[in-house]
Structure 1
Amino acid sequence: MDELVRICTITVRAGSKGVPGKNLRVIAGVPLFGHSVRQAAESGLFDEVVVTTDSQEILDLAPSFGATDIVVRPPHMATDTAGKVQAIAHAVLEIEERRGVRFDTSVDLDATSPLRTVDDIRAAVALFDASDVDSLITGSEARRNPYFNLVELQPDGTVAVSKTPDAAVLRRQDAPRSFDMNGSIYVWKRNSLIENPVVFFPSTIIYEMPQERSQDIDSEHDFDIVKWQMESARPIA
């Protein structure tokens, strides 16, 4: 079997409403986005490690952390309402044209989820390679289960369990397992990504990660938690 040709993208916008300038904020001596670039390079899995961004400062810094190439993210793909997957597909096609290569697999590491380990990346990609699926996501077991203790607000102001089970669930352990997406690692078949740039396909599978490596940064509080974990003596592996 021929060796697979893989690309890893790290998509990094200059702006952020929740945590202004978060991707350039320093944690453990490195700008936030730099941790994901380093992990991709250290994994040894990728023919290309590409940073796609609308920030000139990030474009200038990316090679120092192991990026093999950079892509300027088009303005319409860098707004607050733009989807990330379209920017990933754009970067894949851009690098294919530059290098004259066709990738088999596309992996994206979210810059706001740096608590993953290199082993997580290797294991997630290995699981994907061993499965005939279109995409893989990562997540941790949900703290609230939609069949048991996650409720939705109804139009009349009452609340009800989000998903009604066929039979009453008296213990959380008896409910179907549910997961919180942690946004850490995404894997696609290249053709599936380009033909239909979405996260979920009928065949999508999950690589489970522990909660202590699943914190992503969407608020100042999240940033403080991740910074503490990465800079303290407490191990995350």
Structure 2
Amino acid sequence: MLNNKTVLAIIPARGGSKGIPRKNIRDLAGKPLIAWTIGEGKKSKYIDRIILSSEDSEIIEVAKAYGAEVPFIRPRHLAEDQTPGIDPVIHALKELPNYDFVVLLQPTSPMRQVEDIDGCIEKMFETGAPACVSVTYPEKSPYWMYTIKDNELIEPLIPQNEIVTRRQELPIVYSLNGAVYVARTDRLLETKSFITTQTSAYIMPNSRSYDIDTEDDFLLCEFLIKKKVNSENKLR
């Protein structure tokens, strides 16, 4: 609870992952991938309730074992490849009304920590914005990106009078990292999006901003988590 306002956290996890089959419950450094998100969410000092939205019975059982509630089973038409990501969130809010704020925690961000979750919630309140999302510095600046025209010549993605050649001179930009989304429930039901012109940003370091989408992402996160755990064990 925050300022006497209730906070609901939703973890969406469907069973039909194509890039990495069954990735949400695949073992990552000793725990199912989804367990890393549940564990950090449960540490939050603001979240009142953590629920899973899934149509998959195996994912549901794993999530329950690690402490997430499963108050409903997601309809299968909301678990298709083409289903917009916001639809399961809207469905969950209609199933569980009367929460003042909603936090979306995607299970594909295992490096995210509770300080990021609570920090994003706090940033929303500090700025007075109806929503806040986590961002990070992109590895490659869009000012150095190009499209290829029909004649196969390159064209800057962002029009510039002069191409900047030194990174220090580039405008500072940020990209969504998919780790934390927070919004006032009434506003989200109205706009159907966490991203509007009034959304504030919580900046996360790149080291906690990995979003698992490929096998390489999975292996990299596993390596980093094991390295972190080994370092912590040596300090004890």
> TM (normalized to structure 1)?
0.90
Structure 1 equivalent of residue 121 of structure 2: 125
Tell me the SS of whatever aligns to 2:71: strand
Q: How does 1:197-212 map to 2 (within 5 A)?
A: 197-212=192-207
CA distance in 2, matches of 1:170, 1:58: 48
Tell me the SS of whatever aligns to 1:88: helix
Give me the CA root mean square deviation: 1.8
Tell me the SS of whatever aligns to 1:113: coil
Structure 2 equivalent of residue 99 of structure 1: none
The answer as to whether partners of 1:50 and 1:71 remain within 8 angstroms in 2 is no
Tell me the SS of whatever aligns to 2:135: strand
CA distance in 2, matches of 1:178, 1:234: 32
2:180 maps to 1:185: yes
Structure 2 equivalent of residue 165 of structure 1: 160
Task: Please tell me the residue identity of whatever aligns with 2:206.
Answer: Q
Task: Please tell me the residue identity of whatever aligns with 1:128.
Answer: M
Identity %: 28
Task: Please tell me the residue identity of whatever aligns with 1:176.
Answer: P
CA distance in 1, matches of 2:164, 2:107: 38
- CA-CA distance at 1:234 after TM superposition: 5.5
* Count of aligned pairs between the two proteins: 229
Structure 1 equivalent of residue 136 of structure 2: 140
Task: Please tell me the residue identity of whatever aligns with 1:15.
Answer: G
CA distance in 2, matches of 1:202, 1:180: 15
Structure 2 equivalent of residue 109 of structure 1: 105
CA distance in 1, matches of 2:203, 2:147: 25
Task: Please tell me the residue identity of whatever aligns with 2:141.
Answer: N
Tell me the SS of whatever aligns to 2:160: coil
**After alignment, is 159-168 or 106-115 more displaced?**
159-168
1:99-144 Cα shifts (integer Å, max 9, x gaps):
xxx1111101110011011111111111012122232221211122
Structure 2 equivalent of residue 11 of structure 1: 12
Q: Structure 1: 5+ residue runs without aligned partners?
A: 97-101
Structure 1 residues 218, 234: CA separation in 2 closer, same or farther (over 3 Å shift)? farther
Tell me the SS of whatever aligns to 1:9: strand
- CA-CA distance at 1:167 after TM superposition: 5.6
CA distance in 1, matches of 2:100, 2:149: 45
1:201-236 Cα shifts (integer Å, max 9, x gaps):
11112211111111111111111011111122357x
Structure 1 residues 125, 14: CA separation in 2 closer, same or farther (over 3 Å shift)? same
The answer as to whether partners of 1:27 and 1:231 remain within 8 angstroms in 2 is no
The answer as to whether partners of 1:62 and 1:70 remain within 8 angstroms in 2 is no
CA distance in 1, matches of 2:192, 2:67: 26
1:61-95 Cα shifts (integer Å, max 9, x gaps):
22222213433111111001111111011112212
2:212 to 214, 217, 221: 217
Structure 1 equivalent of residue 89 of structure 2: 88
CA distance in 2, matches of 1:72, 1:153: 45
- CA-CA distance at 1:170 after TM superposition: 4.0
The answer as to whether partners of 2:123 and 2:201 remain within 8 angstroms in 1 is no
The answer as to whether partners of 1:142 and 1:178 remain within 8 angstroms in 2 is yes
